[in-house]
């Protein structure tokens, strides 16, 4: 077994003429919660599908020491995932879904799933077909969170869920599911809701990884300055990575420039993940 849960080298995916993933290299260590952030169509799902052995790819890829393109069955013993299109058999009642998973998956903990569902309004005797969109996702999450897996991949897991459940979900993911023996990968556009649980982050743009960092390090690196009148020229000389304006004052975002230097230009503040993402991708503060 390698030290990394995932190791990718030159990982590529092409759909006809279109290069969806462009020879990316990355490593994901054990015991981390990685957020994969990118605009629509950036290549997040394409990357996760390769990791899960759901699609072919070029390049080298090892997941839990296995080759996902060849060893998918073995891999699925230790990997659990929820795709951005949550699908469950529509003809089954919720309780039958639990019966089914219990019968086929040796590491499924039914009591845990029941506990999870007891915090929702999902009726166990209702057919999946008759559940609301959010309830279907809740059932799906209850199932995957109750399987003892080494790698959990969540592609837009909270799509269609109300804000209260979304908060509860991420809280229980952190407090009840996650431990240092597991690794979780999450993609979501609701960056503000996950940033407090992430240990690492990866930004993807047009099939390339444009940033990879430890969360703590990342938030230390970026500082926004609301530039005081008369300091604009000085501010530009320090090479901001993004510019904008707030209340008629210009704002600049800097990467890796110490706070004391920047404080001479105006009021400074650290940025959240969403702002760092926008500044990095668009050059706008
Ligand atoms: N089966 C396919 N055939 C052709 N092109 C595809 C296919 N699947 C994905 N693509 C293209 O690859 C690119 C990356 O898609 P992907 O689904 O990985 O994006 P994403 O980052 O997950 O986006 P979103 O946030 O919108 O879900 C897109 O341009 C998409 O149209």
Beta strands in the chain (DSSP E): 4-15, 18-29, 33-38, 58-63, 79-82, 151-155, 183-187, 200-205, 208-214, 222-227, 242-246, 249-255, 266-270
pLDDT by position in tens, the chain (length 285): 447 999 999 999 999 999 999 999 999 999 999 999 999 999 999 999 999 999 999 999 999 999 999 998 899 889 988 876 667 889 999 999 999 999 988 899 999 999 999 988 999 999 999 998 888 888 988 998 899 999 999 998 888 788 888 888 888 888 888 888 899 999 988 899 899 999 999 999 999 999 999 999 999 999 999 999 999 999 999 999 999 988 888 999 999 999 999 999 999 999 999 999 999 998 887
Q: Evaluate: CB of 15 within 6 angstroms of ligand 1.
A: yes
What interface predicted TM-score (ipTM) does this complex get? 0.96
Residue 207 alpha carbon to ligand 1 centre in Å? 10
For residue 189, give the ligand 1 atom closest to its CA.
Answer: 25
- d(CA 212, CA 214) in angstroms, rounded, equals 7
Residue nearest (by alpha carbon) to ligand 1 atom 3: 15
Residue 277 alpha carbon to ligand 1 centre in Å? 20
Residue 129 alpha carbon to ligand 1 centre in Å? 27
Confidence (pLDDT) at 2 = 47
Residue of 38, 46, 55, 56 to test ligand 1 pocket, by largest number of atoms within 8 Å of CB: 46
- d(CA 259, CA 268) in angstroms, rounded, equals 8
For residue 40, give the ligand 1 atom closest to its CA.
Answer: 26
Confidence (pLDDT) at 111 = 96
Confidence (pLDDT) at 84 = 64
For residue 39, give the ligand 1 atom closest to its CA.
Answer: 25
| Cβ-proximal residues to 270 (8 Å cutoff; 6+ apart), any chain | 219, 220, 222, 223, 224
pTM: 0.89
Residue nearest (by alpha carbon) to ligand 1 atom 19: 41
């Amino acid at each position: 077994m390698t030290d990394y849960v995932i190791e990718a080298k030159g990982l590529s995916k092409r759909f006809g003429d279109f290069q969806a993933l462009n020879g990316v290299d990355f490593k994901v260590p054990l015991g981390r919660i990685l957020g994969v952030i990118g605009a629509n169509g950036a290549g997040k799902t394409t990357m996760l599908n390769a990791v899960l052995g759901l699609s072919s790819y070029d390049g080298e890829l090892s997941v839990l020491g296995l080759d996902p393109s060849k060893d998918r069955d073995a891999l699925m013993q230790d990997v659990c995932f929820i795709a951005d299109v949550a699908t469950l058999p529509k003809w089954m009642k919720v309780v039958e879904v639990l019966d089914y998973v219990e019968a086929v998956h040796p590491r499924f903990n039914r009591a845990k799933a029941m506990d999870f569902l007891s915090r929702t309004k999902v009726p166990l005797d209702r057919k999946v077909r008759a559940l609301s969109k959010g309830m279907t996702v809740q059932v799906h999450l209850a199932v995957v969170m109750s399987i003892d897996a080494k790698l959990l991949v969540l592609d837009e897991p909270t799509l269609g869920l109300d804000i209260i459940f979304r908060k509860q979900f991420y809280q229980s993911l952190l407090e009840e599911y996650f431990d240092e023996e597991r690794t979780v990968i999450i993609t979501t556009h609701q960056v503000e809701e996950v940033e407090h649980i992430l240990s690492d982050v990866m930004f993807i743009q047009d099939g390339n990884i444009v940033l990879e960092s430890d969360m703590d390090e990342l938030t230390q690196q970026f500082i926004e300055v609301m530039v005081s009148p008369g300091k604009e020229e000085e501010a530009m000389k320090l090479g901001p990575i993004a510019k904008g304006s707030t209340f008629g004052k210009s704002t600049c975002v800097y990467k890796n420039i110490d706070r004391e230097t920047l404080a001479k230009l105006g009021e400074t503040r650290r940025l959240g993940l969403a702002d760092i993402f926008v500044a990095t991708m668009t050059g706008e503060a």
